[in-house]
Structure 1
Amino acid sequence: MHDLERYRALVDSRPTRFGEAVNRYLGAVGHRPEQPVAMPARAGEVIGVVLVGADESPASYSAVDHAAIEAELRGWDLRILHVQRSGGRQQTTRETGARLLERLAARVHACSPSVAVTRRLAVGSPAHLLLAEGRNATLVVVGHRHGGAGTAFGLSVGDRVAAQHPGPVLVVRVPGWPPGPGFGERPIVLAAERADLNTPSAVFALAEARVRRCDLVVLRAHPDGAAVGRTDTVEGVRVHYRTVPADPVTALIDVSNRAAAIVLGRRGAAGSPVALLGSVSRAALQRAYCPVFLVD
C-alpha cells in the first residue's frame, strides 16, 4: 500500500468552510465555538432542501449536524423528520418526539442561524416515510449505527434509503464522533473508474469540494495497475488524480480514514434493497471511517 501512504501525506491542511462549520458544532459538545456568520439568500436562487432522519441515538445527532452543515454551505433549507413506530403509549411518545425535534432545531439555530429549519413528527415505517418525504428533497441524510442493525434510523434503514432513494444520499459514518483535529480540512475523495469528471458522482463531488473549499481526490484502484498521479485545478478546485495498484474496496476504506467524505455511485443487480448497491458501495456503508455520499 505504498502509494496510499504517499497519498496520506499529499494534502496540506488549510481552512475550509466545512471545517469552520464543523468547529461550531463541536463547540456545542465541549469545544469553544466560533461566531457563525449568517449568509443571506441570493435573489432568484432556487432553494434546495436537505432532509434528515432523526431519533435519540448519538448517530442521529451526528447526522443532523452534518445535514445542517450541508444546508448551510449550499444555502438550502433543512427538514428534520422523526418517525415513531405505531403502537405503545402514543401521547407520551409524541411528546417525547416533539421535545427531541425542538432540541435538534434549537441546536441548528444556535450553530447555523442562516439555515431555515422545519420539523415533522410522523408515525409508521421509518424507511418508508423517509423515502416518501425524500421525493421532494435535494439531499437525504441518514445516520449509521456502528455495530447496530434493524433500529429506527440505523443500518437497515440507511441501506434501504441509500439504495432506493433516486437522488443523492449522505450516510453519516463517523466512528468516535467528535473527530480529532483537522477533520474539517480533509479532502473529498471520489471513487472513480476513469479519470474524468463527467459522471453524476464526479459532478456532485466537484460541487461538494467547491462549496466546502477543499481539495478533491479522484481515486482509481486496480490490483494489476500502475501507480499514476497528477494534480490539476478544475472550476477553482484543486483536484488530485490518483491511480493505485490495490483492490478497490481496500484502497477506498484505507483512504476514508483521512477523508472528510467519500463519494461513489450506487449500482448493483435488482433485488433486495442491499442488493441494489454495488459491492464497493456496500463495503463503504459498512466499513468507511467517514461519511459516504451515494450518487447515481
Structure 2
Amino acid sequence: MTNNGRSTAEAEARRHTGDLRRPTRFGDAINRYIGAAGYHDPYAVAPVRTVSPDVATAVEGSPGAGVIVVGVDDDPISCIAVDHAAIEAELHGWALRIVNVQRPGKEEAGERLLSRLAGRVRASAPSTPVTSRVVAGLDRAQLLLAEATSAGLLVVGHRHSATAAAFGRSVADRVGRQHTGPVLVVRMPGWPVGPQWGRRSIVVAVDDSVPARVAVEFAFAEARVRGCDVTLLHIAGDGTKFDHRLDMPSAVPVHHKIMSGDPVRALIEASEEAAAMVIARHGHGVVPGPLLTVASHVLPHRAHCPVFLVG
C-alpha cells in the first residue's frame, strides 16, 4: 500500500471510528451471563437487558440459521464454549443445541453433563430455547459434524494445555476444516473477563481475495447483532486499493489498521484486544504463503479471543 493509500486509510478510520466507551448488547449479555453462571464479578453492575429491534443474521439464507450447535465434553473449556454459544444464541434470537459425544455405554455420564450445562444456560437466558443430545460413538469430530449439518453456527472449545490438547486440537481442527458453515473456536486464556471486554471490536483481516470479502461481510453482520465496531486489518504491500476493497455499511463503526511485518503475528497480537477474530478458511493472501490459509490454521491455536472460521 502506498503512502497515499495509508493516508486515505487513516482518514477513513477517523471518519468511521466509533465510541468504544458505549455499552453494547454483547457486553450486557456477557455481564448478565457471568453473574447468572455463578462467577464472582468484582465490577457487579446490574446490566440493562436490551433486545435489538433489528436482530441481524450473520449467515443469512443458510439452512438451519436459527440453531447454534455447541460440542462439549467434561473439560472446563466446554463450559466456556457453552457460555459463548449461549450468548450468540441470545443475541441472534436462535435456539441452542448442546451435543456430547460419548463412548458406547457411557451415555449416562453424558446426560448428567448436559443437564448441568443446559441449566447453566437457562439461568442466564431463560428465553433462549435449549435442547441437548448425547451421541454414542468413537469419532467425536465426525459425529459432531453430522449433528451440525443444518446449523447456522457450530461452536467448539479449544484446549490450552499441551498434554490434553492432542485429542482436543484434532476435534477443533477437523471441525474447523470440514464444517461447511461458520465455526466459532473458543480459546479463552482468561475467562470470565473484565467489564471492558464486551466493548471490544470484531477484528478481521483484509486482502483482495474473495474469501476475505466473505469474512468481512460476516464480521459486519455479527457486529450489527452485537452492537460493536469492526476493525479491519489491512495487509501492507498487498497492492489492493483501499477504496475498492469492500462496501462498508454505515451503521457499523469501522476502524482501519495497517499490518506490517509478519501478518500472522500481527493477527495474534491484535487478538489481545479483540472480542473475536473472523478469518476466511481459504484464500490467496501475501507472504508468508497464502495468509488467510495460514491464519486459519494458526489462530485457533494461538489467538487470545474466540475465532470465527468462515467461507
TM-score bracket for the superposition, by shorter chain length: 0.7 to 0.9
Asked if the contact 1:206–1:237 (Cα under 8 Å) also holds between the matched residues in 2, the reply is yes
Map of 2:40 onto structure 1: 30
1:241-269 CA-partner distances (Å, limit 9, x unpaired): 22232321011000100000000100279
* 1:254–1:211 CA distance, 2 compared to 1 (3 A): same
Q: How does 1:102-113 map to 2 (within 5 A)?
A: 102-113=115-126
1:155 corresponding residue in structure 2? 169
**Partner-residue secondary structure (3-state), 1:104:** helix
Q: 1:234 is paired with a residue of what secondary structure? A: coil
User: Judging changes above 3 Å, is the alpha-carbon distance between structure 1 residues 196 and 282 closer, same or farther for their aligned structure 2 residues?
Assistant: closer
The structure showing larger relative contact order (alpha-carbon pairs under 8 Å, at least 6 residues apart) is 2
Letter in 2 for 1:222: A
User: What is the aligned counterpart of 2:71 among 53, 67, 77?
Assistant: 53
Q: What is aligned with 2:294?
A: 279
* Residues 68, 152 of structure 2: 8 Å contact kept: yes
The residue type equivalent to 2:26 in the other structure is: F
Cα deviation digits, residues 178-216 of structure 1 (max 9, x gap)? 123311110000111149998221111000001000000
Return the alpha-carbon distance in structure 2 between the equivalents of residues 41 and 240 of structure 1. 25
**Residue 278 of structure 1: SS of its match in structure 2?**
helix
> Does the CA-based 8 Å contact 2:100-2:110 persist in structure 1?
yes
- Aligned partner letter, 2:110: G
Matches within 5 A, 1:247-286: 247-267=262-282, 278-286=293-301
Structure 2 unaligned blocks of 5 or more: 1-5, 58-63, 285-291
- Structure 1 residues 235 and 77: alpha-carbon distance in aligned structure 2, compared to 1, 3 A threshold: farther
TM-score relative to the length of structure 1: 0.82
- The equivalent position to 1:119 in structure 2, one of 132, 145, 157, is 132
Asked if the contact 1:47–1:77 (Cα under 8 Å) also holds between the matched residues in 2, the reply is no
Deviations 1:139-160 (A, max 9, x none): 0000000023233xx2110000
Which residue of structure 1 lines up, in the alignment, with residue 288 of structure 2?
none
Confirm or deny that 1:12 pairs with 2:20: yes
Distance in 2, Cα, partners of 1:279 & 1:259: 19
SS in structure 2 of the partner of residue 190 of structure 1: strand
Conserved? CA contact 1:50–1:138, under 8 Å: yes
- Determine if the alignment matches structure 1 residue 242 to structure 2 residue 257: yes
Q: CA deviation at 1:177?
A: 1.4
User: Pairwise CA RMSD of aligned residues?
Assistant: 3.3
Question: Counterpart of 1:291 in structure 2: which amino acid?
Answer: P
Amino acid at match of 2:223: A
- How many angstroms apart in 1 are the aligned matches of 2:257 and 2:210? 12
Residue type at the aligned position of 2:34: L
Question: How far 1:39 moved relative to its partner?
Answer: 5.5
Which stretch of the first structure deviates more once superposed, 137-146 or 28-37? Answer: 28-37
Give the share of equivalent positions with the same residue, in percent.
50
After superposition, the Cα gap between the structure-2 partners of 1:111 and 1:245, relative to the gap in structure 1 and judged at 3 Å, is: same
Cα distance in 2 for partners of 1:190, 1:40 equals 23
2:180 pairs with 166, 176, 198, which one? 166
Matched, 1:94 2:107: yes
Q: Quick check: 2:211–2:283 contact (8 Å CA) kept in 1?
A: no
Aligned residues: 272
SS in 2 for 1:250: helix
Q: CA separation in 1, counterparts of 2:187 and 2:252? A: 25
Q: For residues 214 and 50 of structure 2, what CA distance do their matches in structure 1 show? A: 30
Contact kept? 1:224, 1:246, Cα under 8 Å: no
CA distance in 2 between counterparts of 1:283 and 1:238 reads 28
How far apart, CA to CA, are the structure 2 residues paired with 1:40 and 1:207? 13
Q: Extract unaligned runs of 5+ from structure 1.
A: 270-276
How many angstroms does 1:85 deviate by?
A: 2.2
Conservation of the 8 A alpha-carbon contact between 2:157 and 2:185: yes
Q: 1:291 to 1:198 in 2, by over 3 A?
A: closer
CA distance in 2: counterparts of 1:201 and 1:233, whole angstroms: 13
